[in-house]
Amino acid sequence: MSTKEKDDSLVVDNGSYQYHMLFDNHTRLIVTIFDEPFMMLKKIPNDTLTERNIPRGTILDPSRVEGFCVDLAYAVCHDRLKLPYKFLIETKYGKEVEKGVWDGMIGALVNREADLAIASLTINGEREKAVDFSKPFIDLGISIMISKPEKQKPGVFSFMDPLSKQIWMWVIVSYLFVSGILFLISRFSSYEWYFENEWDLIPRNKFSLHNALFFSFAAFMHQGVDLLPRSISGRVVTSAWWFFSLILVSSYTANLAAFLTVEKLVPPIATVEELAKQTDILYGTLKGGSTMAFFNKSTLTTFKIMWNFMQQHKDDVFVSSNSEGIEKVRGSKGKFAFLLESTLNEYVNERAPCDTMRIGENIDSKGYGIATPLGSDLREALNIAVLQLTENEFLERLKQRWYYERSQCTNSGSKDSKQTTPLNLANVAGMFYVLIIGLGSAMVIAFIEFLFKAKLDSKRLNQNIREVMRRNLRISITGIDFDEKLHKEEYLPLKQQQLVTSSPPSSRNIHRNERTPTIANKFNLTKINNDKDDIFRGHKLNHVFHV
351 by Cβ neighbours in 10 Å (0-12 / 13-18 / 19+) ranks as middle
Compute the distance between CA of residue 64 and CA of residue 90 in angstroms, rounded to an integer. 16
On the question of pLDDT at 392 being above 80, the answer is yes
SS3 for 499-518 is HHHHCCHHHHHHHHHCCCCC
Distance CA 172, CA 182 (A): 15
| Residue 20: per-residue pLDDT | 40
For residue 141, which amino acid is it?
Answer: G
For residue 371, name the pLDDT band (cuts at 50, 70, 90): very high
With pLDDT > 70 as the criterion, what percentage of the chain qualifies?
74
Q: Is the pLDDT of residue 89 over 60?
A: yes
pLDDT tens, 255-303? 777 666 655 556 788 889 999 999 889 999 988 777 888 898 889 999 9
- 387 SS3 class: helix
Q: In this structure, are residues 260 and 248 in contact, taking their beta carbons and an 8 Å threshold? A: no
SS3 content of the chain, % helix, strand, coil (to 5): 50, 15, 35
Secondary structure class of 313 (helix, strand, coil): coil
Strands (E), 67-134: 85-90, 96-98, 101-102, 116-117, 131-133
pLDDT band at 497 (very low <50, low <70, confident <90, very high): very low
Interacting residues of 214 by C-beta distance below 8 A, sequence separation 6+: 225, 227
Residue 421 or residue 414, greater confidence:
421
Q: How far apart are the first and last CA of the chain?
A: 111
182, pLDDT greater than 70: yes
Taking the C-alpha atoms of residue 102 and residue 125, their distance in angstroms, rounded to an integer, is 14
Give me the phi and psi of 96, to 5 degrees please.
Answer: -80, 110
Query: Is the pLDDT higher at 493 or at 368?
Result: 368
pLDDT of residue 501: 47
Q: Determine the pLDDT at residue 100.
A: 84
Per residue in 139-170, pLDDT (tens digit) is 999 999 999 887 656 566 667 778 888 888 88
Residue 160 makes CB contacts below 8 A (sequence gap 6+) with 168
Question: Cis peptide before 37, with omega less than 30 degrees from 0?
Answer: yes
Residues 318 and 292 sit within 8 Å (Cβ to Cβ): yes
- pLDDT recorded at residue 480: 53
Tell me what pLDDT residue 18 has: 39
Amino acid 441: pLDDT: 82
Q: Give the whole-angstrom CA distance, residue 170 versus residue 281.
A: 37
- Give the pLDDT score at 234: 82
Least confident of 190-204, 215-229, 356-370, 524-538: 524-538
Model pTM above 0.95: no
pLDDT tens digit string along 1-54?
343 343 444 444 444 433 343 334 468 999 999 988 899 999 888 778 888 888
Residue 526 has pLDDT above 50, yes or no: no
pLDDT at 425: 64
Q: What is the mean pLDDT of residues 331-340?
A: 90
Higher pLDDT, 372 or 496: 372
Nearby residues of 36 by Cβ (< 8 Å), 6 or more positions away = 67, 347
* Residue 75: pLDDT band with limits 50, 70, 90: very high
Report the distance separating Cα 128 and Cα 183, nearest Å.
71
Specify the 3-state DSSP secondary structure of 432. helix
Residue 230's pLDDT is 82
pLDDT, tens only, 399-418 = 999 988 888 886 544 334 44
The answer to whether 238 touches 182, Cβ cutoff 8 Å, is yes
Q: How high is the pLDDT of residue 23?
A: 39
Neighbour tally for 455: CB within 10 Å: 13
Distances in Å between the alpha carbon of 317 and those of 10, 19, 343, 361, 464?
40, 45, 21, 21, 87
Of how many residues is the chain composed?
A: 547
- Strand 28-33 to strand 85-90: parallel, antiparallel, or no bridges (unpaired)? parallel
How confident is residue 117, by pLDDT bands cut at 50, 70 and 90?
Answer: very high
Selected residue with higher pLDDT from 1 and 376: 376
Q: Is the pLDDT of residue 199 over 70?
A: yes
Distance CA 448, CA 236 (A): 14
Contact 236, 182 (CB under 8 A): no
Contact 152, 264 (CB under 8 A): yes
**Mean pLDDT, all residues of the chain:** 77
- In this structure, what are the phi and psi dihedrals at residue 465, rounded to the nearest 5 degrees? -65, -30
pLDDT of 201 higher than 70: no
Residue 71: the pLDDT is 95
Name the E strands within 154-287.
193-195, 204-205, 264-265, 282-284
For 90, residues 6+ apart whose C-beta sits below 8 A from its C-beta are 31, 32, 33, 56, 57, 104, 105, 108
Q: What is the pLDDT of residue 426?
A: 66
- Domains of the chain, start order: 3-141+369-398 (3.40.190.10), 159-264+428-481 (no CATH), 267-364 (3.40.190.10)
Complete edge-to-edge strand list for the sheet that includes strand 131-133: 3-4, 10-12, 58-60, 85-90, 28-33, 116-117, 371-373, 131-133
Model confidence band, residue 79 (pLDDT cutoffs 50, 70, 90): very high
